[in-house]
Each structure stands twice: as structure tokens, then as C-alpha cells.
Amino acid sequence: MAGIATAEACDSNAPLLASGDLRVLQPVFTIYGQSRMFSGPIVTLKVFEDNVLVRSMLESRGEGRVLVVDGAGSMRCALVGGNLGQLAQNNGWAGIVVNGCIRDVDEINACDIGVRALASHPMKSNKRGHGEKGVNVHIAGTLIRDGEWLYADSDGILVSKSELSV
């Protein structure tokens, strides 16, 4: 699937950038996964060192959406691993953006999805099931709302209030 390049989108959408309807995430993410360019409607999750809700979302059909997980930037455990990467791929998620860590990097890099995370960490997270779905999150200096659109490629990550046209 041909995507929209983030640099091109920035160059051709100055009014949207000025109004804040198009926002650029600060460049704090590492790139994982087979698909270096991905985009789709956003589903937000807010969790803290607990990935039960992450799994339950990825168990549902992705239909080309992007799961944005605000894990508060925790550097103490991983919120996504190889099994969840496989699940996301098999259920048709376009990608996962994690404000936190992932693990099983080699397995995730083999999955046909795009993944962005701050870092990798070998420990798994808690399994209590705490967190919130569909709430506004603040990641990498940017407000992100459930239902907005995310565009990621090798240059960076954009969030847009609505779908961008080519």
C-alpha cells in the first residue's frame, strides 16, 4: 500500500500545521517491525506497566488501525512483546506506537506491522488489567485523540485530526 510520506505531508500542509490540526511527534522513538511506513485511524490506550488492555485491544480486529499506547514512558518493563506483535499482525493492525518499552525485538522486527517504541526492556509488565481506553493522551510533546489519524515513516510520526489526502 502506498502511503503518505511524512516530509511531503509537512511540506504540503502548512495551514494544518499552523492550526494544530496536524502535529509532529518529537523524535524520541525507535523504529521496529517490517513496515517502516504505516498509517491509520488511532485507538488510544493509557496504561502503566500493565499490558492486559494492550492484549485485549490487539485481540480485536485491527482493520488497519494504529494502537497508540501511552505507557507514561516507563523504562521498567515491556508493554508489547513477540506474541502481541504476532497478534497485531494476524488481526490486521497497521501498527503500534508505544510511549514505553517493547521486548522480543527480533520477533517484532519479523512481524508485518510497524512498531515505534522508546526502547526495549527484557521484563514483562504487570497483568492487573488497569488502564483506560479511548482517552486523550500526551505523547512526545503531542496531544493525541482517539479517532485521529497517524502517519509514520522513516522520518517521523504525524498525527492529523482527519485523514490526509495525497
Ligand X SMILES: O=C([O-])CC(=O)C(=O)O
Binding residues for substrate: 81-84, 103
75 grid coordinates: 523504562
Q: Which of 125, 137, 149, 158 binds ligand X (CB under 6 A)?
A: 125
Of residues 71 and 81, the one with the C-beta less far from ligand X: 81
Annotated binding site: 81-84, 103-104
For 10-40, b/e burial (b = at least 16 CB within 10 A) is beebeebbeeeebbbbeeebeebbebebbbb
- Asked if 117 interacts with ligand X (CB under 6 A), we say no
Of residues 37 and 68, the one with the C-beta less far from ligand X: 68
What is the distance between the alpha carbons of residues 132 and 111, in angstroms, rounded to a whole number? 26
Window 45 to 84, contacts with ligand X (CB under 6 A): 51, 80-84
- Asked if 16 interacts with ligand X (CB under 6 A), we say no
Give the dihedral sign, CA 81/120/92/48.
positive
Q: Which of 124, 146, 155, 161 binds ligand X (CB under 6 A)?
A: 124
> Site size for ligand X, by CB under 6 A?
10
- Helices in 59-97 by DSSP H: which ranges? 82-90
Q: Which residue ranges make up the site for ligand X (CB under 6 A)?
A: 51, 80-84, 103-104, 124-125
